[in-house]
Structure 1
Amino acid sequence: MAHRKPHLPEKICASCHRPFAWRKKWARDWEQVRYCSDRCRGVGAREA
């Protein structure tokens, strides 16, 4: 039986506009997280 996580907060990526869920590595700065991945962060930085 698979481990089910409780409902995690989600945001919309500022670059690809897809939803992404909270991850433990973002626990300290979830409020500042804008991108779902390093790739989107790189693309978003160029577009801004």
Structure 2
Amino acid sequence: MHKKPYLPEKPCLHCGRPFTWRKKWERVWDEVKYCSERCRREHKQVARAAS
């Protein structure tokens, strides 16, 4: 069975849960801020409502 090596983690800006690196984020890992599309959308709504 293939074991994954250590993968970097970072916390989601919206929910605060840690999420791990994914292959599709290989080139933009520094720009990834949210663990999911749902968190990204909800964070924008909260920011808009606070303005």
TM-score w.r.t. structure 2 length?
0.84
Displacement after TM superposition at 1:42 (Å): 0.4
Alpha-carbon distance in 2 for matches of 1:26, 1:37 = 12
Alpha-carbon distance in 1 for matches of 2:24, 2:37 = 13
SS of 1:47's partner is helix
Counterpart of 2:22, as a letter, is: R
SS of 1:31's partner is helix
> Which structure has greater helix proportion?
2
Q: Which runs of 5+ in 2 are unaligned?
A: none
Q: What is the aligned residue count?
A: 47
Identity of aligned residues (%): 57
TM-score w.r.t. structure 1 length?
0.88
Q: Which contiguous aligned blocks of 4+ residues in structure 1 show a shift greater than 2 angstroms?
A: none
When the two chains are superposed, the root-mean-square deviation of aligned CA atoms in Å is 0.9
Which residue pairs with 1:39 in the alignment? Answer: 38
Task: Decide which structure has the larger Cα Rg and report it.
Answer: 2
Q: Which runs of 5+ in 1 are unaligned?
A: none
